[in-house]
Amino acid sequence: MSASEQLKKIVSDCGVIPTLVIEDLNSAVPLAQALYDGGLNVLEVTLRTPVALQAIQQIRQALPDVVVGAGTVCDASAASAAHDVGAQFLVSPGYATNLGDYCRSKQIALLPGVATASEIMAALADGYDFLKCFPAAALGGTRWLDAIRGPFPDVRFCPTGGISAADAGSYLALPNVLCVGGSWITPAAAIRAQDWVRITTLARQAYEARNSG
């Protein structure tokens, strides 16, 4: 099974991938634990902060049952750095052939971002048929995904960007959507306040949305 096929199985089982922006390294493991306690065992730590790589490493070490990916991976250098600290999959906001080639050569699972039919065709040409639809809400949300299914019936998506608890279920109900991603499960205010009970509650609600989708 290829790295991409493995990734499809992982995310289809989880349904919802919370996006983590970790500013304080001390919050990394408690945050991941709170999400896991709510039923979500696949997480994406974005590489937008100085402690992101350390956070991935700490979560992997502390919570072996949690699958940890790195987000906002834009080039091979970032892909290598994330893989070296234990990231089990990578997520990029767009698609570039050099990044796709690098990940494929290293057998690193990559979820590339697309926003147009041309980008989908470029990713397909390089062997990627499981793609991140980003920014989903701005593109048209479920209407865009439903429309794109006509020319690309075999492509599966993980929409992210502007998704909320109110509409996650409608995305998950689409036949070409394997999972959704978003930050509504990890609000910055709750993280700063170390309100892990709230995070667990939001995670549980997201898990239920997945089951009803």
Residue 23: active-site member: no
Under DSSP, is residue 132 helix (H, G, I), strand (E, B) or coil? strand
Q: Please identify which of the residues 5, 8, 119, 132 carries the catalytic annotation.
A: 132
Q: Are 146 and 97 in contact (CB under 8 A)?
A: no
DSSP annotation of 85: T
Residue 44: active-site member: yes
Rounded (10°) angle between helices 76-84 and 97-105: 30
Tell me how crowded residue 189 is: count the other CB atoms within 10 A of its CB. 8
Q: Are 35 and 201 in contact (CB under 8 A)?
A: no
Distance CA 83, CA 56 (A): 10
The sheet with strand 89-91 has its strands ordered as 110-111, 89-91, 67-71, 42-46, 16-20, 180-182
Tokens standing for 188?
């910055």
Q: Please identify which of the residues 23, 44, 106, 208 carries the catalytic annotation.
A: 44
165, 139, 160: which is closest to 20 by C-alpha?
160
Rounded (10°) angle between helices 52-62 and 28-37: 50
Active-site positions read: 44, 132
